[in-house]
Amino acid sequence: MNAISLVDGFNRPITYLRVSVTDKCNLRCIYCMPEGGLPWLHRDEILSYEEIASIVAAASSVGVRTIRLTGGEPLVRRNLSRLVAAIADVPGIDDIALSTNGLLLEEQLPGLVAAGLRRINLSLDTLRDDRFEAIARRPGLDAVLRAIDAAIAAGLTPVKINCVVMRGKNDDELAAFAELTRSRPIYVRFIELMPVHENLGLQRDAYIAAGEMLERIAVTEELHPVTGPPGNGPARYYAFAGAAGAIGVITPLSHDYCERCNRVRLTADGRLRLCLFGDHSLDLRSPLRNGASTEQLAEIFRTAMLIKPERHHLRLGEASSAMRAFSEIGG
């Protein structure tokens, strides 16, 4: 098996597959979707766990080594540990990670770890109860904080926390989030607010560039560039002297990281999307359900490299037509 055989037209090796297991979410974050939700996929449109495992096997055969399970919110889909176990059995896959809002994690974590989960990212935009409900339009801060503790106790360290920073909403908590990294193996990653159809007005008014975030944190104490944790993510990392964790910034608008892109995404309905913010995609569900072999599915991955774009073209106040789940960004 070739360690790296999937290379796009810009000589970038593709070793990372993000798998959306559902389009549904149990939160309604103001920057991500309308309060009433979105038109959800029908059950028969969504890939089964067996179908996902088959696609992962094809991806592994051409060099994919890391799988990240996302949504929507992946933990709203039942028995997710069964999928984790199936992926862990695929030869060549050596890293399985999960992105979650954490509301359902504490109860499910033991089964997920036993099945083979190795890493976790949690979305958390505030440390205040009132703000959590205002931003997420649902309660749940206590559940997320317990999930962070449970993940650390389970040895899934370093735990990554993704925080979408919004001027006038939570930007006064930058220092409080940064403090979390001093004594615990927590990597807080501040994400620039990105434009999607549901948040264009908010994005124009609330966007803060990562450079400003770092300047405001460094007022209290100097930050030093550091090497990030394992995980193939797009963040650049900084830390206080002697800190157990670090602070990261993810900058899709102020400084894109497309030259380092190593990933593609499988949508819940079986499309191989080649850029999170673009419309380039190929159908995997139809050939799979028509009996395609592992090699035939692998050939679709190879073909996809011919149309993977060099970079995205996000602009302040201009919507990405492709991105539905904001949590997709964090690696």
Task: Catalogue all structural domains in the chain, each as residue range(s) with its CATH number.
Answer: 16-325 (3.20.20.70)
The number of beta carbons lying within 10 Å of the beta carbon of residue 139 is: 13
Question: What is the C-alpha to C-alpha distance for residues 179 and 119, in angstroms, rounded to an integer?
Answer: 22
Which CA distances in Å does 156 have to 20, 120, 181, 184?
A: 21, 7, 15, 12
Give the pLDDT of residue 200: 58
Question: What is the C-alpha to C-alpha distance for residues 228 and 250, in angstroms, rounded to an integer?
Answer: 12
194-215: pLDDT as tens digits = 766 555 566 677 889 999 999 9
Give the pLDDT of residue 281: 87
**What are the pLDDT tens digits along the chain (331 aa)?**
445 689 988 888 999 999 999 999 999 988 888 787 778 899 999 999 999 999 999 999 999 999 999 999 999 999 999 999 999 999 999 999 999 999 999 999 999 999 999 999 999 999 999 999 999 999 999 999 999 999 999 999 889 999 999 999 999 999 999 999 999 999 999 998 876 655 556 667 788 999 999 999 999 899 999 998 876 567 899 999 999 999 999 877 655 567 777 889 999 999 999 887 667 789 999 999 999 999 999 999 999 988 887 766 555 444 444 444 444 555 5
Alpha-carbon Rg for the chain, nearest whole angstrom, is 19
276-311: pLDDT as tens digits = 766 778 999 999 999 999 999 999 999 998 888 776
Q: Which two tokens stand for residue 279?
A: 């419309």
